[in-house]
Amino acid sequence: WATVIRNSRINAGPYTTIVLSHIDFLDWTEVCNSVFNKPKIKDTNDCQVKFKAIRSIILGQDNPNKIKFSYTFESLNYNIIDLEANKRLRSSGLTLLASPKQLYTNKLPLNPEKYKDLSNLCTKNVIPKCYHQEYLNLPNKSAIRDNLPETDEDE
């Protein structure tokens, strides 16, 4: 899919694509529950953070104890939450950002209908032969439910 997406734009040059694996996805639930549910967390300007209004967040590996955030998508000026300096977090004993756990331990399997459709596309050579092995080796499982709605016949 990365090749399809990369080559889907012609005029301005190809899109930059970054291929992710199942190990690249992290479960942030525990981090959110331990940090963001605290009442009256303040940013470095001593303003109370309105978490429901946040539209953009930057988390950096270089400084995991600082969270940059903005209330708009267009903003270039980010506010900062300093987890080490925040009194409310220090008094609760949380000074470092908890590390998120890996979300998936294995590749997510396809449902059998999708796998069958991909196999048929390979058989009919709609998908180029150089990609057949990649598609035919995808994990699939009969217990997987399809979460996507049925498409209209007009599409």
Residue 114 covered by a domain: yes
Residue 4 covered by a domain: no
Name the token pair of 93: 């004993």
Number of other CB atoms surrounding residue 86 within 10 Å: 22
**Are 28 and 98 found together in one domain?**
yes
Residue 11 covered by a domain: no
**Are 73 and 110 found together in one domain?**
no
**Are 93 and 55 found together in one domain?**
yes
**Are 50 and 71 found together in one domain?**
yes
Residue 132 covered by a domain: yes
**Are 55 and 119 found together in one domain?**
no
Range of the domain at 58: 24-102
**Are 96 and 125 found together in one domain?**
no
**Are 74 and 119 found together in one domain?**
no
**Are 30 and 80 found together in one domain?**
yes
Per-residue pLDDT of the chain (155 residues; tens, 9 = 90+): 777 787 788 788 888 888 888 898 999 888 777 766 665 788 888 888 888 899 999 888 888 889 999 999 888 889 999 887 765 555 555 445 567 889 999 888 988 999 999 999 999 999 899 989 988 998 988 655 555 555 555 55
Identify any residues that bridge with 101 across adjacent strands, giving them in sequence order: 27
Nearest to 89 by CA among 39, 28, 31, 30: 39
Quick one: how far is CA 55 from the chain centroid?
Answer: 15
Report the predicted TM-score, pTM, of the whole model to 2 decimal places. Answer: 0.47
Residue 113 covered by a domain: yes
DSSP string of 112-127, one letter each residue: HHHHHHHHHHHHTTSS
User: How many domains are there within the chain?
Assistant: 2
